[in-house]
Every structure is written in C-alpha cells, then in structure tokens.
Amino acid sequence: MDNKQLKEVKRIVRNIPDFPVKGIQFKDLTTAFKDPEALQVMVQAMTDLYRDKGVTKVVGIEARGFIGGAILATQLNAGFVPLRKPGKLPAEVIQKSYTKEYGTDTIEIHRDAITPDDVVVLHDDLLATGGTMLAAYELVKSMNPKKVYINFICDLADLHGRDVFPEDVEITSLFTF
C-alpha cells in the first residue's frame, strides 16, 4: 500500500473538539468512510495486513468497528462477529465491563461466536486509551481461539492506548495521530 495514499486518508479525517464531552478531541472517520477512494485505500491496507494469517473471524466493535470489520471479513473470506452493547444480541452472551476515557461501559459477544479453531482479528476504528479494545481482547481470549490480532484504522499515540495490552499482542493501525 502506498504510504502517500494513507497520508491522504489521514488528512481528510475531521477533528471535532469537545465531543462527546469537553476535553475530548474526537477523530471523525466518517469523512474517510464516505470518500470512495479513501475507503478503498483503508480496505486494501487492512486486507494486506492479514491476507496470509489464516483469519477465520473478524470481530467488529460497536458501532464504527462494524464498518471496517465487516468489509475486512468479506475481503479475507472470514466470518464477521459483532461485539455489542448490552441487550442487543439475541442469543446467550458473555460480557465484560470496563472503564474508558469518559465513563464506564459493558460489551457482549454471543457465547458461541468464537471457537478454539478460530484465528481472530479484533477491529475498531480508533485506539484512544485502549479500554474498549482491551475488554474486547480479554473477552475473545476467554473463548480460547488459536490467535487474536488487533487492528485499528488510527491510533491516538499521545493517549498510550497500546501500553494497556500484553507485549505479545500484535497491534496494527493504518496511521497515527
């Protein structure tokens, strides 16, 4: 993937100050999602990262992780698993509560979504403090898959989100702010 193309995608990401609460600088990736060329660049870059890793499931985190996660699953010929807020999944679930930069939350996954034969990519649009993805990682790891990779479109490096994960976890992002 051409680094110049990823720099252009990064350039078109909109910054929204004080959203959803005062002091947060929200990176709005919808500006990149709505641009057909930017979307293609992101999809190709993510696909290139995982093409030869034997991925069988992509887990997308509600809500923006559903966008890239479902597309990535299609490109990798893998299944897609939604990781959702409580009360949204119809079958038996397991859940995990966690703290994030502006409050607490809980996530759920269907109890039968991941098997010990699965190689999983956990996907979300953005890495901030890492709380949501760490909870997702711990939840999926509790299901004993063969391997778990973590992927983001962008990483807010100044918030040190990568620091909350075990050192042996492979974490990728397309670009950093």
Q: What is the pLDDT of residues 3-34, one digit of tens each?
A: 899 999 999 999 999 998 898 889 999 999 99
If we measure between CA atoms, which residue out of 29, 37, 46, 30 comes closest to residue 123?
A: 46
CATH topology of domain 53-176: Rossmann fold (3.40.50)
**Which residue is catalytic, options 51, 64, 92, 108?**
64
Tell me if residue 167 is catalytic.
no
Q: How far apart, in whole angstroms, are the C-alpha atoms of residue 79 and residue 81?
A: 7
Please give the single-letter amino acid code of residue 71: I
- What is the tens place of the pLDDT at every residue in 42-84? 999 999 999 999 999 999 999 999 999 999 999 999 999 999 9
Q: Are the C-beta atoms of 121 and 50 separated by less than 8 Å?
A: yes
Angle at 164 between CA 131 and CA 73, to 5 degrees: 65
pTM attached to this predicted model:
0.94
**Which residue is catalytic, options 8, 62, 101, 162?**
101
Is omega for the bond preceding 70 within 30 degrees of 0, making it cis?
no
Tell me if residue 170 is catalytic.
no
- Per-residue pLDDT, 133: 97
Q: Give percent helix, percent strand, percent coil of the chain, each to the nearest 5.
A: 35, 35, 35
